Amino acid sequence: MLTRIDHIGIACFDLDKTVEFYRATYGFEVFHSEVNEEQGVREAMLKINDTSDGGASYLQLLEPTREDSAVGKWLAKNGEGVHHIAFGTADVDGDAAAIRDKGVRVLYDEPRIGSMGSRITFLHPKDCHGVLTELVTSAEPGSAEH
């Protein structure tokens, strides 16, 4: 069962400049940053608030580390802006299977490792009214560096 909006992914050309905008404009600070070599991105997670299920909601700022990454290709075609929405779930495997059974294409056969040690998968945007959708099961507290 999906429990919250985990994060909104925003693609950007310059991560440091974009982080500074969100800090100066809204007061959001970087909660976590990392480079995900598999996905070809450098990212910063800006924590917005805690949620009632023990999770949190974030803005995820994404800068491609290579042009051929999914975010790099998306930026070349669309420019900066909202890239995806992610919903939190306690069971990414089970929810992905249930959603696949409803005819929605799940992009990964098995969930992959995402930000902060989470487990993730994506749903095809053509099956989700044009929205790239991510499902996220957060890592257990203390299992990933923040």
How far apart are the C-alpha atoms of 92 and 90, rounded to whole Å? Answer: 6
How far apart are the C-alpha atoms of 99 and 116, rounded to whole Å? Answer: 24
User: Is 7 annotated as catalytic?
Assistant: yes
User: Is 60 annotated as catalytic?
Assistant: yes
State the catalytic residue, choosing from 39, 63, 83, 134: 134
State the catalytic residue, choosing from 39, 43, 63, 83: 43
User: Is 20 annotated as catalytic?
Assistant: no
Cα torsion through 85, 64, 48, 28, rounded to 10: -150
Residue 103 tokens, joined: 């005819």
State the catalytic residue, choosing from 39, 63, 83, 84: 84
User: Is 43 annotated as catalytic?
Assistant: yes
State the catalytic residue, choosing from 39, 60, 63, 83: 60
State the catalytic residue, choosing from 7, 39, 63, 83: 7
Cite the DSSP H helix spans in the chain: 15-26, 70-78, 92-101
User: Annotated active-site positions, please?
Assistant: 7, 43, 60, 84, 134
